[in-house]
Amino acid sequence: MSTFASLMRPLDVKGVRLPNRIVFPPTVTNYASDGGEVTERLIRYYQEIARNGVGLTVVGATAIARAGNLFPLCTRIDGDEYLEGLSRLFSVIREAGSVPAVQLAHAGRQTSHKMTGEQPVAPSPLPCPVWKDLPRELSPQEIEKVEDDFAEGVRRSKLAGAAMVELHGAHGYLINQFLSPFSNRRTDHYGGSLENRARFALNILHKTRARVGSDYPIICRISAEEFMEGGLTLSDTREIAPLLVKNGVDVISVSAGVAASRPLRDQHMKQGRFWELAGAIKESVPQTPVIAVGKILDLATAEKVMESQGVELIAICRALIADPELVTKSLEGRSDEIVRCIECGECTASLVKDESTMRCSVNPNL
């Protein structure tokens, strides 16, 4: 029976001790209320995962503004009225033995009027090939307001008890939209060169640090490749990652793709390309912890990826949705009892196609 010793080692991030190297990454569940409040269902979902040996549990897709909702029933953090519910959620995760974190996001053009009641906004008035609503181009003054909204979201997260936050700069959402030449065609100081396209993200970091200080851990999730013609490439993101670290990011979480490149993204994930991307980003930020993700369905694979790519943390998503006890069963030598993810995609299809809450074909509790 393997003890998975390398995975079980603790890791300190700015004074926050993670008990092991396993991360449950942020997911959209649609388990919040229609006003963005934490619900009992959402608490049960995260509690079940947190109490089964996950080192870091990241609450997913929490909108920093109503117009930035990724899906209709995402948690929100754009007002103090959300603090009580989030505080309870973070406390439950902590009491279960995991470190609580929260992902802050703004959908930008990857949403719809139907979801938010407002016209989507974006760096440039280019519709997302998937959502198709024509977005309105943000003015410089509006961009500054969104930067402030992100920073306020981090301040509220800390106040509510999150041990760290993750800024969602991946998968085609607003921070990613500014970074990418595919979606950012601006000609002002927020567009053009890589440095200008990174300005939005860096301003968020500067404003955030002014509110929470230098010792509060910040993760930034990026898409190392967009898999879109004219989009971000690994060469770009190997320049972006050090910029983020220089300006206040403590951990880089490496994913890939955007909504419009999902079929190609899934193909690359199946081939293990995501792991190699994480390793390549790690080379560009050698002193910074990096999280790898992408079809990591068991602890043996997790250990292999961590060791082969030189990364510090491993995100396990769909396998933990299928069986929240995956880590516990693996460590106790009960691997034959694990309910395996069958890679059917129901967890995402239920959100996108059915506009429903997240479901899983093999987990009847969801």
Tens-place pLDDT, residues 81-105: 999 999 999 999 999 999 999 999 9
Is 85 within 8 Å of 125 (Cβ atoms)? Answer: no
Pick from 169, 69, 181: which is nearest to 124 by CA?
181
What is the CA 257 to chain-centroid distance, rounded? 13
**Domain spans of the chain?**
11-333
- Token pair 């009641």: residue: 117
The structure tokens 């948690």 sit at: 75
What is the model's pTM?
Answer: 0.97
How wide is the angle at C-alpha 265 spanned by C-alphas 354 and 291, nearest 5°? Answer: 105
pLDDT, residue 262, reads 76
Question: What DSSP character marks residue 81?
Answer: G
Q: How confident is the model at residue 248 (pLDDT cuts 50, 70, 90)?
A: very high
Q: Which residues of 145-165 are buried (b: 16+ CB within 10 A; e: fewer)?
A: ebbbbbbbbbbbbbebbbbbb
What's the pLDDT band for 263 if we cut at 50, 70, 90?
low
From the candidates 45, 46, 173, 216, which is the catalytic residue?
173
Residue 343 has pLDDT above 70, yes or no: yes
Q: Is 173 a catalytic residue?
A: yes
- CATH 3.90.228.20: does it fit domain 11-333? no
